Structure 1
Amino acid sequence: MIGARFRPQGCDPATGLDCVGLVWAAYAATGRRLSRPHAYPLRGWSEARIVAALQTAGFARDEGRVAMGDVALIALPAGQFHLGLLGGETMVHAHAGLRRVVEAPLDDAARTAVRWRLD
């Protein structure tokens, strides 16, 4: 999905993805169909609502060692949140500024993010 265009509320790699759509599409590509949140805002989505969406989909907070496919919940300035898929020393995420899905080296925000893993 790297290189797919960024699209708010996007959930299909062919037409575009946002950070939520990327996570759900990546798991769907592995055969895991998850309950996906709908009508969420690009900004201003509360942490409680994001956590509830992750839990509804079957994710549990994980404090152990980072595993490929863990979901990082990153708290950004001004109360904004972002999701990304962790792997080794990189994170795949839908980058709004670059307008596409990218793989980037882990930064401090990703390394210290709350991680979620499917039960």
Structure 2
Amino acid sequence: MTLAEAAAGLAGVPFRLHGRDPRHGLDCIGLFSAAMARCGVAVRVPAGYALRLSQPARWMPDPAAYGFVTAQAPYAPGDVVMLSPGPAQLHLAIRSAHAGWIHAHAGLRKVVIQPCLPKGQVLGHWRLPPAA
């Protein structure tokens, strides 16, 4: 299963801040973690962060620790981007296999697939290299 497929399979799961289990709800970090788990990779994720972060790097999983490399546009299925949707806010989204974006949408209260990249400045863009 690819990361894009794993994440798309979580569409519709309720949004829950600090959510790590699809049965109870996910936030954007929980979505990344759950999608990676569906691909057979356990991700160590932080707990106890707020919606606004004073030290963002402390709270986000390091994609390089899970085999991701820094990527450049164009976006490809399974790419992970970190966005800043507002002051002191961070958000993760995963590129779908069908040119959309999968993310935990706090306003809609669920994991969604939408055609456009979520609003915000792109702070990071990572990709899993092709399997050898």
So what's the TM-score if we normalise by structure 1? 0.81
Which aligned segments of 4 or more residues in structure 1 are displaced greater than 6 angstroms?
none
CA drift at 1:30:
1.4
State the partner residue of 2:78.
69
Instruction: Summarize the Cα distance change of 1:95–1:52 in structure 2 as closer, same or farther, 3 Å threshold.
Output: closer
Unaligned runs of at least 5 residues, structure 1? none
Tell me, yes or no, if the aligned pair for 1:61 and 1:116 is still in contact at 8 Å: yes
Query: Which residue, out of 92, 95, 98, partners 2:102?
Result: 92
Query: Which residue, out of 84, 102, 114, partners 1:104?
Result: 114
Instruction: Summarize the Cα distance change of 1:39–1:118 in structure 2 as closer, same or farther, 3 Å threshold.
Output: farther
Aligned length: 118
Unaligned runs of at least 5 residues, structure 2? 1-9
State the partner residue of 1:49.
58
Larger relative strand fraction: 1
State the partner residue of 2:30.
21
So what's the TM-score if we normalise by structure 2? 0.74
CA drift at 1:39:
2.5
CA drift at 1:63:
2.1
The two structures, once aligned, show a CA RMSD in angstroms of 2.4
In structure 1, C-alpha distance between the alignment counterparts of 2:12 and 2:73, rounded to whole Å? 30
